[in-house]
Structure 1
């Protein structure tokens, strides 16, 4: 019989350190006693983890907490937020935005990345390379302005499938431009950071789980309605991607009456054909709802849904 596998002391220490760091990020400076109460660890274990975090430059004494007991005031330990920085790239079909943050989650730089650049007519490869380079240069500029010397991690959020085994972006089915892959290939060399690619809807679900509407839930489904239609599944507190990364690709679900069947590389005929922003606007136009043109199909679709709810006397429209 295979012996039971248990956490090694090293693994247990790493888990405890991560829990303590999460508490300091969420609550701010804490005393050793407060850390002990919040984690359930013993006094020696808390002393050890505080010592480790101080040695690694992640935690420092930031003040003292008054106490009714006799003796010296308790030290307050706070996160050294500038110890490391991370970047998030929100990569769309025709735009991108970069945000740089410190360990406390505070934004220190933000930029809308300018592209696509002009490329020789017919030179698709040149255009893709130029676009990826423009994004990288804009990220460089944002880091320089924020006086950030290096990044620990870069997370790229993009539409489309991400292979859970390899972390590579699969362009099939999402109509993704080739410059997305060019950008992902160039990031490790340019930044020297760890690079992780994740589906944008999955990232939204993680954000809701950690800091949003699902903080008190460990199992939920997030529906993404906009230019595309998708979902993210969180079960027992863990994001479920599926074997090929497509667990939330509900836009490909066949729907009767669409006149077609979706394929692995085309969601026409699927749920996307009925619920995407463009489809909602087309349906609204057929019923006489015409929002003010804004150039943003997603915002316009939300507006026509609100108008339709108001016309029907449905109070749900106020939540749109």
Structure 2
């Protein structure tokens, strides 16, 4: 039960309002009795609170609790969903997915676009296509304004300026899209590294809801990590915390450079390396060497988990455990989640192997889990981040 704090009348009202709005966001519509049970407030205080929030346009009657109950006590109060809308974007090198949602988190529009523009070019076609898809989603939902948009993208998001720092291997149109979104939308547009958003999704919805300190290791087309310590996402001084693709590890035949991660951990565990390893073990792997190809071969191996498939998973786990051992030695997170297309496809079979090998390499107890958020965890994390931002503004200072 959440209990309101003792404070001055004005401060107490602000705190109580925010508590009630957060409960409605978390649980959905509630009766006045339900709010009393969850807040510990008196009947008159809840009645006053609901009247105040209704006048402010934040709460409305959205139905009744059941046919057996009639009258004022059965009314269900919910957030006014149309009060604000948010957009979440998952921007990859060759695709963009977006979700448009209302204040309750209900999806009211979505789009997925393949992107064929030359990564070295201006990407004007890609930017136009994304803006057109967003406009169409808004028109279809009858939405005229977006309060907050969160764009998840690979690369470094400068925590001080909100800019996407240039990385030579990434498409130039990513930065152009960020600028175009900020020009087009009247609301704020926030940028976050894609792996950080996946970490937020796993923390709130997935494999580590019971943990406040963990590292999510992203294994996909690229390599990265999300670092959450004491419930707080840690980005680092320049936004580069978790850039494990550059981590020097044995077996690469050299060292990475400031501009090239090909001799870092990236060269052992990114999708191309995973596909090459599978072929070396005699397993069929698509020559595309992209994330879907790596995901398919790892999932097939995890489902069979014997003979060449088991040997392939063993060697992949060895590579992953070596990198995790370095992270554990510095951060001691107690838990590591294997995410990205490869980590999620490997599931418990890969996580168990990595955990077993990690116990041989490190004296620090570290649980290894497989990511569980379905669909696009980047999109889920972006949506959670956008909703947090808009609710924090609209719900008031409160606690």
Q: Classify the TM-score, shorter chain.
A: 0.7 to 0.9
Do the aligned partners of 1:115 and 1:135 also contact (CA within 8 Å) in 2?
no
Alignment of 1:1-320 (within 5 A): 17-40=17-40, 46-47=46-47, 49-65=49-65, 73-113=73-113, 115-116=115-116, 124=121, 127-172=122-167, 175-291=169-285, 293=286, 297-309=290-302, 310-312=305-307, 316=349
Alignment CA distance shift 1:161-1:269 (3 Å): same
Q: TM-score under structure 1 normalisation?
A: 0.82
Q: Secondary structure at the match of 1:113?
A: strand
Alignment CA distance shift 1:102-1:268 (3 Å): same
Alignment CA distance shift 1:216-1:10 (3 Å): farther
Deviations 1:33-90 (CA, angstroms, capped at 9, x unpaired): 4334334556666555534432332211224447x99x95254211221222111111
Greater helix content: 2
141-150 or 28-37, which moves further after superposition?
Answer: 28-37
Alignment CA distance shift 1:16-1:113 (3 Å): farther
Mapped partners of 1:11, 1:248: distance in 2:
40
Mapped partners of 1:9, 1:88: distance in 2:
38
Mapped partners of 2:32, 2:147: distance in 1:
28
Q: TM-score under structure 2 normalisation?
A: 0.67
- Root-mean-square deviation (Å): 3.4
Q: Which residue of 1 aligns with 2:316?
A: none
Q: Secondary structure at the match of 1:73?
A: helix
219-228 or 300-309, which moves further after superposition?
Answer: 300-309
Q: Which residue of 2 aligns with 1:3?
A: none
CA shift at 1:172, angstroms? 2.4
Alignment CA distance shift 1:81-1:72 (3 Å): closer
Unpaired runs of 5+ residues, structure 2, are 1-6, 311-347, 352-369, 372-399
Do the aligned partners of 1:289 and 1:307 also contact (CA within 8 Å) in 2?
no
CA shift at 1:197, angstroms? 0.5
CA shift at 1:163, angstroms? 0.9
Q: Secondary structure at the match of 2:143?
A: coil
Mapped partners of 1:224, 1:256: distance in 2:
19
Mapped partners of 1:117, 1:278: distance in 2:
21
Mapped partners of 1:50, 1:115: distance in 2:
47
Alignment CA distance shift 1:62-1:222 (3 Å): same
Q: Secondary structure at the match of 2:123?
A: helix
Mapped partners of 2:10, 2:288: distance in 1:
54
Mapped partners of 1:176, 1:130: distance in 2:
16
Alignment CA distance shift 1:306-1:243 (3 Å): same
Unpaired runs of 5+ residues, structure 1, are 1-6
Mapped partners of 2:186, 2:134: distance in 1:
13
